[in-house]
Homo-oligomer: A and B are copies of this chain.
Amino acid sequence: MVEHPLDEALSLDVVEPGRFHGRTTPQYWNMAGPFGGVTGALMLRAVLDHPEAQGRPVALTVNFCGAVAEGDFEITARLVRGGRSTQHWQVEMTQEGRGVATTASVVMGVARETWGHRSAGPPSIPAPEAVPLFPTAIRNGWTAQYEMRFAAGAPTFPQADAPRAPDDIRSGLSHLWVRDAPPRPLDYPALAALSDSFILRIVQVRGDLPPTATATLTTYFLADPADLARQGGDYLLGVANSRAFAHGFHDQIAELWSRDGELLAVSTQMVWFKS
Protein backbone atom coordinates (compact mmCIF):
# COMPACT_ATOMS: atom_id res chain seq x y z
CA MET A 1 0.00 0.00 0.00
CA VAL A 2 1.36 3.38 -0.98
CA GLU A 3 1.75 5.77 1.94
CA HIS A 4 -0.24 9.02 1.72
CA PRO A 5 2.11 11.93 0.88
CA LEU A 6 1.00 13.71 4.07
CA ASP A 7 1.92 10.70 6.21
CA GLU A 8 5.28 10.56 4.47
CA ALA A 9 5.82 14.28 5.12
CA LEU A 10 4.79 13.95 8.79
CA SER A 11 6.90 10.87 9.49
CA LEU A 12 9.24 11.41 12.45
CA ASP A 13 11.87 9.06 13.85
CA VAL A 14 12.43 9.07 17.60
CA VAL A 15 16.04 9.96 18.44
CA GLU A 16 15.26 9.93 22.16
CA PRO A 17 12.06 10.78 24.06
CA GLY A 18 11.01 14.27 22.96
CA ARG A 19 13.65 14.48 20.23
CA PHE A 20 12.77 13.58 16.66
CA HIS A 21 14.41 13.40 13.27
CA GLY A 22 12.63 14.06 9.97
CA ARG A 23 13.18 15.28 6.42
CA THR A 24 11.40 17.55 3.98
CA THR A 25 9.52 15.89 1.10
CA PRO A 26 9.19 17.29 -2.43
CA GLN A 27 5.39 16.87 -2.55
CA TYR A 28 4.75 19.74 -0.10
CA TRP A 29 7.41 22.11 -1.43
CA ASN A 30 6.55 25.79 -1.62
CA MET A 31 8.47 28.47 -3.50
CA ALA A 32 11.41 28.85 -1.07
CA GLY A 33 10.94 26.01 1.43
CA PRO A 34 8.38 23.51 2.64
CA PHE A 35 4.69 24.48 2.90
CA GLY A 36 4.22 26.15 6.30
CA GLY A 37 1.10 24.12 7.01
CA VAL A 38 3.13 20.90 6.97
CA THR A 39 5.86 22.50 9.10
CA GLY A 40 3.18 23.41 11.65
CA ALA A 41 1.70 19.90 11.47
CA LEU A 42 5.17 18.47 12.16
CA MET A 43 5.54 20.63 15.28
CA LEU A 44 2.19 19.30 16.50
CA ARG A 45 3.10 15.72 15.51
CA ALA A 46 6.20 15.93 17.75
CA VAL A 47 4.00 16.72 20.77
CA LEU A 48 1.47 13.99 19.91
CA ASP A 49 4.33 11.47 19.57
CA HIS A 50 5.78 12.44 22.96
CA PRO A 51 5.13 9.80 25.66
CA GLU A 52 3.98 12.49 28.13
CA ALA A 53 1.34 14.01 25.81
CA GLN A 54 -2.17 13.94 27.30
CA GLY A 55 -5.50 14.96 25.85
CA ARG A 56 -6.14 16.47 22.45
CA PRO A 57 -4.71 19.56 20.74
CA VAL A 58 -6.44 22.84 21.65
CA ALA A 59 -4.09 25.48 20.20
CA LEU A 60 -0.97 25.62 18.03
CA THR A 61 1.15 28.71 17.39
CA VAL A 62 3.96 28.33 14.86
CA ASN A 63 6.66 30.96 14.44
CA PHE A 64 8.51 30.77 11.14
CA CYS A 65 11.89 32.12 12.26
CA GLY A 66 13.96 31.31 9.21
CA ALA A 67 13.82 29.37 5.95
CA VAL A 68 13.73 25.57 6.22
CA ALA A 69 16.22 24.06 3.77
CA GLU A 70 15.57 20.89 1.79
CA GLY A 71 16.71 17.85 3.74
CA ASP A 72 17.02 16.71 7.35
CA PHE A 73 15.74 18.48 10.44
CA GLU A 74 15.42 17.79 14.14
CA ILE A 75 12.43 18.65 16.34
CA THR A 76 12.47 18.78 20.13
CA ALA A 77 9.28 18.94 22.18
CA ARG A 78 9.34 19.99 25.84
CA LEU A 79 6.47 19.88 28.33
CA VAL A 80 6.65 23.32 29.98
CA ARG A 81 3.81 22.73 32.41
CA GLY A 82 1.00 20.26 32.86
CA GLY A 83 -2.14 20.65 34.91
CA ARG A 84 -5.35 18.74 35.42
CA SER A 85 -7.06 20.22 32.37
CA THR A 86 -4.30 21.52 30.08
CA GLN A 87 -0.69 20.94 29.07
CA HIS A 88 1.62 23.62 27.66
CA TRP A 89 4.35 22.50 25.26
CA GLN A 90 7.25 24.27 23.59
CA VAL A 91 8.62 22.89 20.31
CA GLU A 92 11.70 23.80 18.27
CA MET A 93 12.86 22.75 14.78
CA THR A 94 16.55 23.03 13.96
CA GLN A 95 18.72 22.16 10.99
CA GLU A 96 22.40 21.36 11.31
CA GLY A 97 24.57 24.41 10.73
CA ARG A 98 21.51 26.64 10.23
CA GLY A 99 20.16 27.19 13.75
CA VAL A 100 16.50 27.41 14.75
CA ALA A 101 14.14 27.37 11.78
CA THR A 102 10.80 27.19 13.58
CA THR A 103 9.40 27.44 17.09
CA ALA A 104 5.93 26.49 18.25
CA SER A 105 3.77 26.38 21.33
CA VAL A 106 1.05 23.78 21.74
CA VAL A 107 -1.81 23.69 24.25
CA MET A 108 -3.29 20.25 24.89
CA GLY A 109 -6.63 19.83 26.67
CA VAL A 110 -8.48 16.96 28.25
CA ALA A 111 -11.14 15.75 25.80
CA ARG A 112 -14.51 16.15 27.53
CA GLU A 113 -18.13 17.06 27.05
CA THR A 114 -19.40 20.45 28.25
CA TRP A 115 -22.01 23.01 27.42
CA GLY A 116 -21.63 24.12 23.82
CA HIS A 117 -22.93 26.87 21.57
CA ARG A 118 -22.16 27.99 18.05
CA SER A 119 -22.63 31.73 17.63
CA ALA A 120 -21.33 31.91 14.06
CA GLY A 121 -22.39 29.83 11.07
CA PRO A 122 -20.77 28.69 7.84
CA PRO A 123 -21.47 30.60 4.63
CA SER A 124 -24.15 29.06 2.43
CA ILE A 125 -22.45 27.68 -0.68
CA PRO A 126 -23.37 24.86 -3.10
CA ALA A 127 -22.42 21.28 -2.20
CA PRO A 128 -18.85 20.33 -3.17
CA GLU A 129 -20.09 18.07 -5.96
CA ALA A 130 -21.67 21.15 -7.59
CA VAL A 131 -18.56 23.37 -7.42
CA PRO A 132 -15.92 22.96 -10.17
CA LEU A 133 -12.56 21.46 -9.28
CA PHE A 134 -9.83 24.12 -9.18
CA PRO A 135 -6.82 22.95 -11.21
CA THR A 136 -4.19 22.46 -8.50
CA ALA A 137 -3.15 19.01 -9.80
CA ILE A 138 -1.35 20.47 -12.82
CA ARG A 139 0.84 22.62 -10.57
CA ASN A 140 4.09 21.75 -8.85
CA GLY A 141 4.31 21.96 -5.11
CA TRP A 142 2.01 21.81 -2.14
CA THR A 143 -1.22 23.10 -3.70
CA ALA A 144 -1.34 19.90 -5.80
CA GLN A 145 -1.70 17.98 -2.51
CA TYR A 146 -5.10 19.59 -1.92
CA GLU A 147 -8.37 19.30 -3.75
CA MET A 148 -9.91 22.78 -3.84
CA ARG A 149 -13.33 23.82 -5.10
CA PHE A 150 -13.88 27.58 -4.91
CA ALA A 151 -17.41 28.91 -4.60
CA ALA A 152 -15.99 32.47 -4.27
CA GLY A 153 -12.57 34.09 -4.41
CA ALA A 154 -10.59 31.58 -6.47
CA PRO A 155 -6.93 32.62 -6.63
CA THR A 156 -5.35 33.80 -9.84
CA PHE A 157 -1.89 32.28 -9.22
CA PRO A 158 -0.11 35.14 -10.98
CA GLN A 159 3.34 34.82 -12.48
CA ALA A 160 6.16 36.05 -10.24
CA ASP A 161 6.87 38.91 -12.67
CA ALA A 162 3.23 39.85 -13.28
CA PRO A 163 2.77 43.62 -13.21
CA ARG A 164 0.42 44.97 -10.60
CA ALA A 165 -2.54 47.13 -11.55
CA PRO A 166 -2.66 49.52 -8.56
CA ASP A 167 -6.38 50.24 -8.99
CA ASP A 168 -7.42 46.62 -9.27
CA ILE A 169 -7.92 45.71 -5.59
CA ARG A 170 -10.04 42.59 -5.14
CA SER A 171 -11.84 41.18 -2.12
CA GLY A 172 -9.69 38.97 0.10
CA LEU A 173 -12.63 36.70 0.90
CA SER A 174 -12.59 33.08 -0.32
CA HIS A 175 -15.14 30.32 0.21
CA LEU A 176 -14.06 26.84 -0.83
CA TRP A 177 -14.39 23.13 -0.28
CA VAL A 178 -10.99 21.66 0.51
CA ARG A 179 -9.51 18.28 1.43
CA ASP A 180 -6.31 16.33 1.09
CA ALA A 181 -5.59 14.87 -2.38
CA PRO A 182 -6.03 11.96 -2.38
CA PRO A 183 -8.61 12.04 0.45
CA ARG A 184 -7.26 10.95 3.85
CA PRO A 185 -9.05 10.47 7.20
CA LEU A 186 -8.95 13.78 9.05
CA ASP A 187 -6.76 14.04 12.15
CA TYR A 188 -5.27 16.97 14.07
CA PRO A 189 -2.00 17.25 12.09
CA ALA A 190 -3.95 17.21 8.81
CA LEU A 191 -6.33 19.86 10.20
CA ALA A 192 -3.33 21.97 11.28
CA ALA A 193 -1.94 21.79 7.74
CA LEU A 194 -5.36 22.60 6.23
CA SER A 195 -5.60 25.69 8.43
CA ASP A 196 -2.68 27.11 6.40
CA SER A 197 -3.90 25.92 2.99
CA PHE A 198 -5.37 29.29 2.02
CA ILE A 199 -3.36 31.27 -0.53
CA LEU A 200 -1.84 34.35 1.13
CA ARG A 201 -4.41 37.10 0.93
CA ILE A 202 -2.04 39.69 -0.53
CA VAL A 203 -1.86 37.56 -3.68
CA GLN A 204 -5.64 37.35 -3.71
CA VAL A 205 -6.20 41.04 -3.13
CA ARG A 206 -3.50 42.53 -5.37
CA GLY A 207 -3.28 39.87 -8.06
CA ASP A 208 0.51 39.97 -8.17
CA LEU A 209 3.09 37.88 -6.33
CA PRO A 210 5.33 40.07 -4.14
CA PRO A 211 7.98 38.49 -1.91
CA THR A 212 5.93 37.35 1.08
CA ALA A 213 6.16 34.93 4.02
CA THR A 214 4.07 33.96 7.02
CA ALA A 215 5.80 35.20 10.20
CA THR A 216 3.49 33.47 12.69
CA LEU A 217 0.42 31.23 12.48
CA THR A 218 -2.05 30.33 15.24
CA THR A 219 -4.67 27.59 14.95
CA TYR A 220 -7.37 26.75 17.51
CA PHE A 221 -9.02 23.34 17.43
CA LEU A 222 -12.70 23.46 18.40
CA ALA A 223 -13.25 19.83 17.33
CA ASP A 224 -12.81 16.86 19.64
CA PRO A 225 -11.45 13.52 18.37
CA ALA A 226 -14.96 12.20 17.70
CA ASP A 227 -15.78 15.27 15.58
CA LEU A 228 -12.68 14.61 13.49
CA ALA A 229 -13.40 10.89 13.13
CA ARG A 230 -16.85 11.72 11.75
CA GLN A 231 -15.30 13.66 8.84
CA GLY A 232 -13.39 10.73 7.37
CA GLY A 233 -12.03 12.03 4.07
CA ASP A 234 -14.93 14.40 3.38
CA TYR A 235 -14.57 17.99 2.21
CA LEU A 236 -14.25 20.85 4.69
CA LEU A 237 -15.72 24.27 4.03
CA GLY A 238 -12.93 26.84 4.22
CA VAL A 239 -13.36 30.60 4.69
CA ALA A 240 -10.39 32.97 4.44
CA ASN A 241 -10.10 36.74 4.64
CA SER A 242 -7.93 39.65 5.80
CA ARG A 243 -8.70 42.88 7.59
CA ALA A 244 -5.70 45.12 7.00
CA PHE A 245 -2.44 45.41 5.07
CA ALA A 246 -0.08 48.03 6.54
CA HIS A 247 3.60 48.71 7.20
CA GLY A 248 4.84 45.49 5.60
CA PHE A 249 2.45 43.03 7.27
CA HIS A 250 -1.12 41.82 6.84
CA ASP A 251 -3.38 39.69 8.99
CA GLN A 252 -5.20 36.65 7.64
CA ILE A 253 -8.06 34.74 9.24
CA ALA A 254 -9.55 31.38 8.33
CA GLU A 255 -12.29 28.99 9.43
CA LEU A 256 -12.70 25.29 8.66
CA TRP A 257 -16.25 23.95 8.90
CA SER A 258 -17.55 20.42 8.52
CA ARG A 259 -20.05 19.75 5.76
CA ASP A 260 -22.80 19.57 8.40
CA GLY A 261 -21.94 22.97 9.89
CA GLU A 262 -19.63 22.30 12.85
CA LEU A 263 -16.71 24.71 13.31
CA LEU A 264 -13.69 22.39 13.49
CA ALA A 265 -10.83 24.91 13.57
CA VAL A 266 -10.06 28.61 13.22
CA SER A 267 -6.72 30.14 12.39
CA THR A 268 -5.03 33.49 12.06
CA GLN A 269 -1.64 34.50 10.72
CA MET A 270 0.53 37.55 10.33
CA VAL A 271 2.13 37.74 6.90
CA TRP A 272 5.23 39.72 5.99
CA PHE A 273 5.34 41.31 2.54
CA LYS A 274 8.16 43.24 0.93
CA SER A 275 6.42 46.27 -0.56
Q: Is A117 interfacial (CB 8 A cutoff)?
A: yes
- Are A105's CB and B107's CB within 8 A? no
- Are B266's CB and A251's CB within 8 A? yes
A243's partner among B172, B245, B255 (CB-CB below 8 A) is B255
Instruction: Kindly provide the distance from the CB of A113 to the nearest chain B CB, expressed in whole angstroms.
Output: 7
- Are A111's CB and B247's CB within 8 A? yes
Give A253-275 as 1s and 0s: 1 = Cβ < 8 Å from B's Cβ atoms: 10100000001001010101111
Known: A100-B81, A119-B241. A249 touches B270 (CB 8 A): no
The interface-forming segment of A12-20, A26-34, A60-68, A138-146 is A60-68
- The interface residues of chain A, by DSSP majority, are classed as strand
A189-212 contacts to B, CB under 8 A, are 205-206
The interface-forming segment of A124-132, A154-162, A217-225 is A217-225
Q: Is A71 interfacial (CB 8 A cutoff)?
A: no
Q: Is A120 interfacial (CB 8 A cutoff)?
A: yes
Known: A83-B66, A247-B114. A61 touches B107 (CB 8 A): no
Q: Is A116 interfacial (CB 8 A cutoff)?
A: yes
The interface-forming segment of A3-11, A46-54, A84-92, A180-188 is A84-92
Instruction: Kindly provide the distance from the CB of A40 to the nearest chain B CB, expressed in whole angstroms.
Output: 13
Q: Is A37 interfacial (CB 8 A cutoff)?
A: no
Q: Which B residue's beta carbon lies closest to that of A252? A: B220
Number of copies: 2
- Are A103's CB and B116's CB within 8 A? no
Instruction: Kindly provide the distance from the CB of A62 to the nearest chain B CB, expressed in whole angstroms.
Output: 10
Find chain B residues with CB under 8 A from A229 CB.
none
Known: A58-B270, A263-B244. A275 touches B105 (CB 8 A): no
Instruction: Kindly provide the distance from the CB of A47 to the nearest chain B CB, expressed in whole angstroms.
Output: 13
Pairs of residues from A and B, 6 with the lowest C-beta to C-beta distance, nearest first = A120-B243, A65-B81, A65-B88, A244-B263, A116-B246, A117-B245
Q: What are 29 residue pairs bridging A and B, where the CB atoms are less than 8 Å apart in the complex?
A: A59-B216, A61-B61, A65-B80, A65-B81, A80-B100, A80-B103, A86-B215, A88-B100, A90-B103, A103-B105, A105-B216, A109-B247, A109-B272, A113-B247, A115-B273, A116-B246, A117-B246, A119-B205, A119-B242, A119-B244, A218-B218, A220-B249, A220-B268, A222-B249, A222-B251, A224-B247, A243-B255, A246-B263, A251-B266
